[in-house]
A and B are shown apart, each in its own frame.
Chain A
Amino acid sequence: MRRRNWIALAAGIAASTVVATTAVQAEELYIPNLSYRTGPFAATGTPLMNGQRDYIEMLNSRDGGVNGVKLGYDECETGYNTNKGVECYEKTKGKAIVTQPWSTGITLQVLPRTNVDKIPILAPGYGFSPMSDGSVFQWGFNPPASYWDAASMILKHISGGDLDSLKGQKVALLHLDHPYGKEPLPLLSAMSEKHGFKLLPIPVGLKEMQNQSAQWLQIRRERPDWVIMWGWGAMNTGALTEAVKTRFPMEKFVGVWWSGHDNDMRVVGDKGKGYKSISWNVPGDYPVMADVKKHVIDAGKSLLADPADANTVFYQRGLVISMILVEGIKAAQAHFDSKIINAEQLRWGLENLNVDEAKLKELGMGGMTVPFSTSCSNHTGHGGGWMLEWDGTKFVQASDHLTPDRAAIEPLEAAKAKEYAENNKPWPVTACNG
């Protein structure tokens, strides 16, 4: 009897293996996501992953996928750990048409390999700012805006559009002491020299994220006119609570788009009123949200803990990120006239994105995110963004559409991209026509 049980179990396992392999062989586009729902940054990762997942679920159940092909969304858990990130990349790259590394560290490690493996990296709004230069980073994409775009837009907003008005002022950059946090430094220091304001970089170590009393003591002593924050995860909450404690005026406190997370703000609640963060999506009640609600959340297919969280900035940003990927797939399908596309074809699709106002309306996302378009030489799109402001309970739009000062950024991007290619010789560089 006992032996029979074992045989039954073995047969069951064998059968399910067969089923699993045939399921993969069925016509679908495999789009894995290197997620982090565990580890120190899980609190910010989870809503983003939920959004990404739910948009794909919605398309699969509403339209049966894209142009009749199911989307095989899958997660490989990294816990924001680069070791596991590399493991996941190797595990998924065989049949995947895209890789979404979700961490600056993993992006840096995967970036050189994608050239050889010929698989596009989609890193919306993160990664390396010079990645915008498509002639050097042929496989890297960071639409709709880069970190340098963000820094430029923040400066534009706090100066009221005229950067020279910042002359003589002091701008502190409270940043994570990590490749991600250091990203805006080259641009901000170039701008401070050009426009005569004083830049005060204040690093926060990974270990002191939650305890920033030293940094805020420095801020109180230096009395900067503005504090710009490049924080992530627990660092945001730490900074906000310290800012409240030291009574720093919230109107003078501006974060990058990863520092505008509803859950971080809930900790300070009403006292955080006036805090701003740049963003390329505005949370709200868009037509697409009705579809997500109907097909995914109400159908019980979502992983959201509370359906009300569907109105948060990060969840909806997850939807936008998946939308960008799906638009790339659509573009590639149309161009190559084939429902099943491979990684190289998707790269063409991501390089020829044209997400304009009309397209966003058609998707039910009008006003939800910035319109942008990419090309061979422009892998970012530079769609700009909006300022969001915390009103005590939620983020609301607080500015018109802002655009980065591309004229000031472009030479810097080209120089840094060239430097990267030289440091990583032999690095393939192609010429782009437009």
Chain B
Amino acid sequence: MFYRTAGQFKTTYSADQALYPIRQDAILLGIVLAVAYVILPMVASEFAFRALLVPVLIYALAALGLNILTGFAGQLSLGTGAFMGVGAYACYKLTTIFPEMNIVIALFLSGFFSAAVGVAFGLPSLRIKGFYLAIATLAAQFFLVWLFEKAGWLYNYNASGAIEVRTLDLFGLTVTGPTATPVTQYYFVLVTVTVITLLTINLTRGRYGRTWKAVRDMDIAAELVGINLMRAKLTAFAVSSYIVGIAGALLVFFFKGAAEPNLFDIELSFLILFIAIIGGLGSILGNFLGAILIVALPVILNVIPDALGIPVSSATFEHINDMIIGALIVTILIVEPHGLARFWAVIREKLIIWPFPH
């Protein structure tokens, strides 16, 4: 009834291969975009922008990057946090060396640095896989964070050892630094994330996406049908690290404003990995759902006792909060090991055949 596909006939191949061949999907996407672009900016408070919306988008983007590598190409990585750091430090260096550089250009250039580093640390993937590769990327994690701490050049020999974001303008509008309004920053992040997500959806549907999936499902078979394994794995590392690097630069420039090296520590890698797993490996939508669950839900839960006037001390509630989120994650993984995206797929299928169950 709500999701009736009857009567939607495809008469051309391009119509059949469209991004959203079912009308209801397109409508739903339209509603989500309208909420994100029009309604939320009108109703959200500064707290919502700074503590909820912007971080959710940025973490979802980072998970999207990791998902290309882990979900689509099947290469396990524990170095996501450090690759985000490479993007952030590259963007910081670019904007300090070339103060006139447009922030958009700096942002998209900084992705190339993390892509290069990602490929370098992805090289072992040609010989090893699975847990062994995870250890190799773990080495990247520790080495890079150590480098951020030791190499004074990277943080311009700042006394505090941290990188601090300057105020940058884009078309006369302040987009970074303390004077930037939360709405401007939100729009900037939203547009960036939308563009990259759109590109990624198409990339994963195209030739590269298919070779990645073939490698993931069985690399020997993929090699036998003529797929160049080296190229497939390294492109996955490059694209993944590129997106992760941009997410790192966004994290520092549009959310935090300053960053110490240990921000990019292994905990960040785990957080991103959790988002990707809870959301659903090998899906695009899952990253957003996972980020909402893992990043936004604790913040929302934290506001509840205050809003209801329940006298719980902040520290106690922090423990309760951890328990709630932990229980939710375990429940979700038991009920649906393939993540939230799979949940949505099941609901969608049920809606399509509703009211006739199988």
Contacts and interface: CB of A to CB of B under 8 A. Distances in A.
A76 B46 CA distance: 18
B315 A77 contact: yes
B178 interface: yes
Contact of A425 (B166, B260, B265, B314): B166
Given A77-B315, A105-B260, A109-B258, A20 B299 contact: no
Interface stretch (A175-183, A192-200, A397-405): A175-183
A20 B159 contact: no
A44 interface: no
A206 B142 CA distance: 12
A57 B259 CA distance: 35
Nearest to A83: B55
B132 interface: no
A82 interface: yes
A115 B179 CA distance: 9
A151 B308 CA distance: 47
B60 to A, nearest CB: 15
Contacts of A17: 307-309
Contact of B164 (A82, A87, A423): A423
A104 B161 CA distance: 11
A86 interface: yes
Contacts of A177: 149
Interface string A407-430: 000000000100100011110000
B319 interface: yes
A75 B315 contact: yes
A35 B313 CA distance: 11
A76 B313 CA distance: 9
Interface in A64-82: 74-77, 79, 82
Interface string B293-315: 00000010011001111100111
Nearest to A419: B159
Given A87-B299, A177-B149, A112 B159 contact: no
A179 B162 contact: yes
A91 interface: yes
Contact of B159 (A23, A77, A178, A416): A416
B156 interface: yes
A244 interface: no
A190 to B, nearest CB: 12
B257 A113 contact: yes
Contact of B177 (A112, A178, A303, A416): A112
Interface residues of B, number: 41
B336 interface: no
Given A90-B47, A108-B164, A182 B159 contact: yes
A112 B162 contact: no
B102 interface: no
A178 B162 CA distance: 9
A213 B303 CA distance: 44
B130 to A, nearest CB: 25
A19 interface: yes
B202 interface: no
A177 B147 CA distance: 12
Given A108-B164, A112-B178, A424-B166, A178 B260 contact: yes
Given A424-B166, A424-B167, A112 B257 contact: yes
A91 B318 CA distance: 15
B101 interface: no
What 8 pairs between A and B have smallest CB-CB spacing? A20-B309, A37-B315, A112-B178, A77-B314, A16-B309, A77-B318, A179-B160, A87-B51
16 contacts: A20-B306, A75-B315, A90-B50, A94-B47, A104-B160, A109-B257, A111-B258, A112-B178, A112-B258, A128-B160, A177-B149, A182-B160, A183-B160, A303-B313, A419-B159, A424-B164
Given A38-B315, A113-B257, A179-B260, 18 more contacts: A17-B309, A19-B309, A20-B308, A20-B309, A21-B309, A38-B318, A74-B314, A75-B314, A76-B314, A91-B47, A105-B162, A108-B160, A109-B258, A112-B164, A113-B178, A179-B161, A182-B159, A206-B262
